Amino acid sequence: MKAKAVWVVEEGKIDILDTDVPDPQASQVTVEVKACGVCAWDSYLFRGISSNKPIPYVIGHEAVGIIAKVGSAITHVKPGDKVFCAGGSNVMMAQYVTLPGANTVKIPDDTTDYVKWVAEPTCCVVNILYRSQIEPGDHVVVVGAGYMGLLAIMGLVRGSAAGKVTVFDVSEEHLALARKYKPTAAYNPNSEEGKAAIAEIQKAGGADIVIEISGADAGFALANELTSRQGGPNLGGKLVIGSWHRHEMKFDGTLWHMSGLTVLNLSPMSNKNYKSLLPRAGQMIRKGVYTPGDLVTHVADYKNCTDVFLRSIDKKEGYIKGVVTF
C-alpha cells in the first residue's frame, strides 16, 4: 500500500511524498495515523543530524491513530480501535504505518482529539521514574523544565512517593509552567534564590535522585553536583540522564569516583521490560496523573508543517511541544 508521508529531502527541508506501507505480519498492526508528535530527535533529523541512514528519509515515532489491519497473532486490539504508538518504528509521520503490535496501546473509544494522546514521551518519563526506584520521602531534583521535564514533574508530584520535588531551569517561562504542577520549589539556578537553594542541597549532602533533563552542558554539570554521594545501605544518590544527548557530554569524574552514585539512562533500551510499562503509562494518562495534551503548543497539518520543525529548533513563540496531524 502507498501512503503520503513527511520526508526529509534535504537538510532543513521536507516534502510530502509516497512511502510503501507493508501489510502487517503475524505480530504487527497497521495504524491509520491521525497525529504524530515532533520529538527532539525529529528536530535533529530535520537538519540531517543523528540519522543512521542517508537523506531522504521519513521520520516520526510518536503516532496516535486508528488500527486499520492486524496480524494473525494480535489479540489486544482490533481494526477500528484507537491507539497510541510508542516505539517500534521511526517512520510514523505518514498516513499509515506498520509496526509491532506490542508497541500499541488502546485509548478511549470516544477520543476525537488525537493530539492529546501523543503518549510516547510520557512512556519514556514513566520509564525514568520506574528506573529511578523512588522511595517514600526521597528528595528528587529535576534539572530542566522543558517538555520532558514538565512531564516528569507531573509524574513526581501526582504519582510518586517523592517527599520533595525541586526544579531548576534558566527559563522563567518554563519555571512558571513548572509551578502549575506544584513542585515543592522551582528556581532559576543563576538567581540569588536559586544559588542559595543549590548551596542548601549541597550542604545537606545532595539530593536522593537528580533527573537531568535539560540536554544542556550547564544543566548536566548542575545535576552532577547536586546528586548525593553518601554511602551506606542505599549506595548514595541516583543521577538519571533523562535527555537524549546527541553530542559529547563532559563530566567531572572526580565527583563519581569512590562515591555511592548510581547513574541511570532514559533510553527504553535500558529496561528489558519497557514494553510492559506502555499500557501502564496509558492508564496513568487516563487517570490524569499525566496530561501531555496540556503541553502541546504548536499543531500543523502534515502538508504544511515546516514551521513546527523550525519552532522545535529555535523555541520561539512559546514552543514546548509540536504535533503534526493527518
Domain spans of the chain, in order of start: 2-118+296-325, 122-270
Say if domain 2-118+296-325 classifies as CATH 3.20.20.370.
no
Given a cut of 60, is residue 235 above it in pLDDT? no
Q: Fold match between 2-118+296-325 and 122-270?
A: no
> What does the alpha-carbon distance between residue 105 and residue 88 come to, in Å, rounded to a whole number?
12
- pLDDT tens per residue across span 277-291: 999 999 999 999 999
* Predicted local distance difference test score (pLDDT) of residue 232: 45
Q: Is the pTM of this model over 0.85?
A: yes
DSSP, collapsed to helix, strand or coil, labels residue 221 as helix
SS3 state of residue 264: strand
**Mean pLDDT within 68-89:** 97
Residues forming a β-bridge with 96: 32
CA pair distance 278, 173, nearest whole angstrom: 30
CB 80 within 8 A of CB 253: no
Burial status of residue 199 (CB atoms within 10 A of its CB: 0-12, 13-18, 19 or more): exposed
Give residue for cell 542505599. Answer: 234
**CATH T-level assignment (fold) for domain 122-270:** Rossmann fold (3.40.50)
Which grid cell is 232? 551506606
Average pLDDT in the 262-272 region?
A: 84
Q: Is the pLDDT of residue 313 over 60?
A: yes
Listed in sequence order, the residues at least 6 apart from 208 whose beta carbon sits closer than 8 Å to its beta carbon are 135, 138, 139, 140, 228, 234, 237, 238
Per mean pLDDT, which range of 76-80, 101-105, 184-188, 264-268 is the poorest?
Answer: 264-268
- CA dist 225 and 210 (Å) reads 10
Mean pLDDT, residues 88-92: 96
> Average pLDDT, stretch 111-136?
96
Residues 6 or more apart whose CB falls under 8 angstroms from that of 171 comprise 145
Q: Give me the pLDDT at residue 254, please.
A: 76
For the stretch 155-175, pLDDT in tens is 999 999 999 999 999 999 999
